[in-house]
Every structure is written in C-alpha cells, then in structure tokens.
Chain A
Amino acid sequence: MIWNALLLALREIRRNLMRSFLTILGIVIGVSAVITMVTLGNGATRAVSDQIASLGSNLLIIRPGQHLGPGRDSAGAAAFKVADVEALKTQVSGLAAVVPVTNKSVTLVAMARNWSTGVTGTTSDWFATGKWQIASGRIFNEAEERAGAAACVIGETIRRELFGSQDPLGQQIRVKQFSCEVIGLLASKGQSTMGNDQDDLLVMPLRTVQRRLTGSIDVASLMISVRDDASMDIAKDQVSWLMRERRHIGAGDNDDFSVMDTRQIAETLSGTTKVMTGLLGAVAAVSLLVGGIGIMNIMLVSVTERTREIGIRLAIGALEREVLLQFLIEAVALASLGGIIGILLATLASIGGAALMHVPYLFNPAINLLSFGFSAAIGVVFGYVPARRAARLDPIEALRHA
C-alpha cells in the first residue's frame, strides 16, 4: 500500500516536473542555506581555534578592561606602561618574554602609492613570541629600540601594495610626519581568522610609535610567553596578583584588566563564531519553514485541481486513509526530494565557500541528516492539511467537479 502510494506520488511529481521543482525550491534553498551556514560556520570556528593554537599554548595576553571580543569594556581602565613590562620581567618567575604592544592606524606613503594599515609598536621579542619568520632583511635590534629609531619591518601585503616588484629593503616609507626605513620583510602567514589579512602590518620599535605616532607612553596590551618548564596557572596567578598591586586594586574589587591564555582566547573567539553560526542557521531554518508553506500551498491547489481524480478514486473504492496517504506521501516525497537536492547544493556551496573564505571544509553528518529529516517532517506537517481535505471529499461532489 505504501509502496503503491509512493509510486503514485513519484508519477505525479514526474508528471508536473516544472511545478514540482518550483514547489520544492523553497525547501531546496532552506536546506542548502542551513547546511552551508552551519558547515562554513564550523569551518570558521575551527580556523580561528587552529590559528590561535598555532601561537602555542604558553601565551598569556593582558589587556585593560574585562572582556575580550565584541563589546569589550575597557572604558576607564588605565592602559599599561613600559614600567609594567619591567616589573613583570623582574618580579614574576618562569616568564620567557614580556612583550608590550601598541597599535595605531595610519596611512603609509611610498613610491607615490599609499596604503592604510595598522602600525604595531613593540619590542624585538614580539617576532619570536608571535611565531613570525623573517623572509629577508632583519628585525630591529636593542639599540634601535632604545633610540626609537625610524626602522620598520613590513608584512607581505604592504610590500605588495607599496613596492610591487621592487625590493623593499632600504626603501623609505612615510608614516605621518616622518619616514622610516624598511629593514626587514616578514614571511607571509596568509589570510585567516574570518578574513583578516595577517600580513597587512608594519612593525616598529615601541618607543618610535609612542614618540612619533601616539604621543603617549601608554601600552595597549601585553603579550607574555611562559617558559615551557613553568606552570601556566601559576604564572597567570602571579601576573594577575602583580598587576592588581601595581594598579592599586583593593582586596574586594574586580580586576580592571584581563589575563587570558591562548586556549581561553580561542574559546572566546570560537564562541563568537558559534553564536554567528547559530544565528545564520536559525535564519536559514526560517526559510525552510517558508518552503514548507510553499509545499502546502501547492498541495492545496493540487487537491482542488485533482478533485475529479479524487472522486474517481473514491468511487472506485479507495478508502479515506488511502487517499490521505497518497497525498501525504506525495508531499513528503516532494519535500524529501527538496532535501536531497538541497544537500547536494549545500555540499557544493560549502566546498566552494570554504575555499573562498580560507576555512577548512568540515563535512557535518549530523546537520545533513537533521536537515533532511526536518524537510521530510515539513512534508508531513504541511502536507497533512491538503491530504485530509482530499480524503474527506464527498465522492459525488468530487465527481461533479469540472
């Protein structure tokens, strides 16, 4: 019986191929949107955590204010000073490096071209701590750091945008009122973390940035690498304790800075991408529901259109539930077909999208199964009303229908 109904349903779908296709378009789009969003979202999450993890597990990052990520609450919290760096280096044991970082957005000019980017002011330890390699030239030395020399190391993107095919080493770049000499070129890290270009940066000694660009002795954040033989937890506690003391925070008061290790940062960032994934997935799920309404609409039209056919079937001796089943199966078959096409489309879109976004393509069986099951369920839910209407028709009335 079910088999027969399925054959009937498939025959009916084939008979109205164009209409069937339009009917399931909503489901196709819904399913492929849900799966693509979730798959790419998962890929992005993975990419973020992979990238952070690549910095190593022994990194601590200290920022003023309490939260990392969107809505960071740093208002009112004082910035760090170079003295904090010295204090951490001397008073906390087990630290391999303490790196101050200050950023400033600027427009660079060189060879009659310009480029907007962020300048990073820091110390030479920054390169090793951030796992940067030098492609050519050198990094600045201690003398240049102390003197606040106008020397800079540039990322691959800046080389490409300002110097094109020419060798950047020894060239001058204008940064606001002064020129700095390019002494080194960083090896490319490529694009990642939700489309950030990691190579779009220019690194200078901290003192140079403070004197010539920010005009203050503030340090925006501190990067600390903990020695492999030391405990992360202990280092973290000691850092917090020292910073509380230096920032005069009372015993009952909350920290006005945050110390995070790489694992926490990865979690926070991937938490954000997970929320985004969830939201996009939910929006896509709504479109799936809309697709279901499309199926109900067409099925209702179909029942009206096929009233005479239903009358014939009833007159011949079809039971109410057999007619119900026929239309229900037709709706479910349509919706499932939409689900299958949606899955195929989503697979293509996810692979393509993952390549474009530079995130890994992670096949997620759960979301594929779930979407398919959901689309079939939509067929049942939205097919039921039209199917019942068909089954309840009065055979005589139905036969009289034009």
Chain B
Amino acid sequence: MSEPLIALSGVTRTFGTGAAAFQALRGVDLTIEEGEFVAIMGPSGSGKSSMMNILGCLDTPSGGSYRFRGLRVEDLNRDQRALLRRHALGFVFQGFNLLARTSAQENVELPLLYRGETVEARHDAARAALAAVGLEGWGHHSPAELSGGQQQRVAIARALVTNPSLLLADEPTGNLDTERSREIIDLLVALNRDKGITVVMVTHESDMAAYARRIVRLVDGKVESDIRNAAPAGVVPGAH
C-alpha cells in the first residue's frame, strides 16, 4: 500500500515562548488519503487555521511529524517548502486573496508564472481554469469588478490551474451568502469527484460540511471526532 497523501502524527504547534506560550495544536493525529474530501470543523480558536497552515507547508509543526506523500515536511527548508506549494498544493482563503488591480486572468496565471511556463501555456491553462469555475469570458475583469462569489471562483481557478494534488480551503465560503456558498461547495465537490483532487476544507457551517465525505472536529487543538459521511450532500442526484 502506498503512502497516504497526508499523515500527521502527534503534531503540536506552540506560539510564543515562556509564560506567554500558547499551544494551538496539542498532538494532532490525522491521515488523509488521496482523493478524499474532508471538512474540518470546530469552535473558534480550536486550531483549524493553525493546522491548515501546517498542511499547506506555510508553517512547520513545533513537535510531531507531518509527512506529505511520505516526505518529512519539517526537514524541508523554506525554499523547498515553497517548491512543494508551487507544485503540489492549491490554496483558497476566506478573504479570496487575489491581487488587486490585476485582472482575473493574470491572477490565475500567477502560479504558472512562477513555474516558468510559456506565455501561451499560461494563457491557455488560465482560460481553461476560469472556464472550469464558470467564469468564461470574465478574464479581463479585476477583482474589484467581480462579486464575492466570482472572486472566490477566481481564487479557486488560481488554486487548481496547476493541477494540485491537494486543495486546501480555509473557510472558503465564510464571506459569502448561502446561495454563493452553495455554488462554491458544488465546485469543490465537482473538482474532487471529476479530477480526483483531494480537498481539505475548513467550515463553520454544518450544511456545508455535509457535502464532505469525512468530517473532522477539532477542539482545543486536538481531534475530537472523525466521522465518515456515507451519503454526502453533493452526490445526491439533483442536488445541484
């Protein structure tokens, strides 16, 4: 059997030192296989974002180990982790985090720019990614000219344009109304189902989490429950 995509074992994360030290993660064990759709839930301050940052190689554990496809992430240096992000990971944030005053097309092309791909390859891939999130023909609009839902879809297009193995979404629908939220979740479900991209999504809303096939609850920096969802909302025929 091959290595799992993600294997956290005894991961801790401590912020600050001495008396002011605060342990945001207190020994997280979590294994996620290729192709899963996992929702992370938990009260505010339970360490969800801290864990996502570690999963996304933006941060390293204070203790324990994180293996990405068997690779010990804590042994990588800053640039090696950047390369891992560049080639295997995609991010979607609550705040969209698009470059302002930059067209949707250029935003989506950005990761390809760092990969050193040619202009034509970038154009084509970005256009295809925008089409995949239902924004065909919106490429020349800047973020300010797009609705929140559209901005989040651009962000998703940017995350998937590199064909990542893992898509990390920290409260991707946190800033959106129910209707837009549903569109985004449908999109993530479709990406997971059709392209086999592993999706890990943090959400506060249980009806959003219901789309996932697995729901992990964090409380006080620890995994409190890890539930398989036999009938996720998205796969019910006619749900979208």
A residues engaging B (CB < 8 A)?
1, 4, 15, 308-309, 311-322, 395-396, 399
- The interface size bin for chain B is 20 to 34
Are A317 and B59 interface neighbours, CB within 8 A?
Answer: no
Q: Identify which of A15, A308, A309, A316 contacts B85 (C-beta below 8 A).
A: A316
- When A1-B116, A396-B58 are in contact, do A316 and B83 touch as well, CB less than 8 Å? no
Residue of B nearest to A392 (CB): B78
B86 is an interface residue with CB less than 8 A from chain A: yes
Residue of A nearest to B159 (CB): A316
Q: Identify which of B56, B78, B113, B115 contacts A315 (C-beta below 8 A).
A: B56
Q: Which residues of B contact A319 (CB under 8 A)?
A: 79, 82-83, 114
Q: Which residues of B contact A320 (CB under 8 A)?
A: 78-79, 82
Known A-B contacts: A319-B114, A396-B59. Give 20 more (CB < 8 A). A312-B97, A312-B98, A312-B110, A313-B114, A314-B82, A315-B56, A315-B97, A316-B85, A316-B86, A316-B91, A316-B110, A316-B114, A316-B158, A317-B82, A317-B83, A317-B87, A317-B89, A318-B86, A319-B79, A322-B114
How many whole Å from B216's CB to the nearest CB in chain A? 21
- 9 pairs, CB–CB < 8 Å, chain A vs chain B: A15-B101, A308-B97, A309-B99, A317-B83, A317-B87, A317-B111, A319-B83, A320-B78, A396-B53
Secondary structure dominating the interface of B: helix
Secondary structure dominating the interface of A: helix
Contact flags B126-164 to A (C-beta < 8 A → 1, else 0):
000000000000000000000000000000001000000
B residues engaging A (CB < 8 A)?
53, 56, 58-59, 78-79, 82-87, 89, 91, 93, 97-101, 110-111, 113-116, 158
CA separation between A147 and B235, bound complex, in Å?
Answer: 127
Q: Identify which of A318, A396, A399 contacts B114 (C-beta below 8 A).
A: A318
How many whole Å from A89's CB to the nearest CB in chain B? 86
Residue of A nearest to B93 (CB): A399
How many whole Å from B94's CB to the nearest CB in chain A? 10
Residue of B nearest to A4 (CB): B113
Q: Which residues of A contact B58 (CB under 8 A)?
A: 315, 395-396
Residue of B nearest to A399 (CB): B97
Residue of A nearest to B116 (CB): A1
CA separation between A396 and B52, bound complex, in Å?
Answer: 11
Q: Which residues of A contact B87 (CB under 8 A)?
A: 317
How many whole Å from A373's CB to the nearest CB in chain B? 30
Q: Which residues of B contact A4 (CB under 8 A)?
A: 113, 116
Q: Which residues of A contact B99 (CB under 8 A)?
A: 309, 312
CA separation between A396 and B59, bound complex, in Å?
Answer: 8
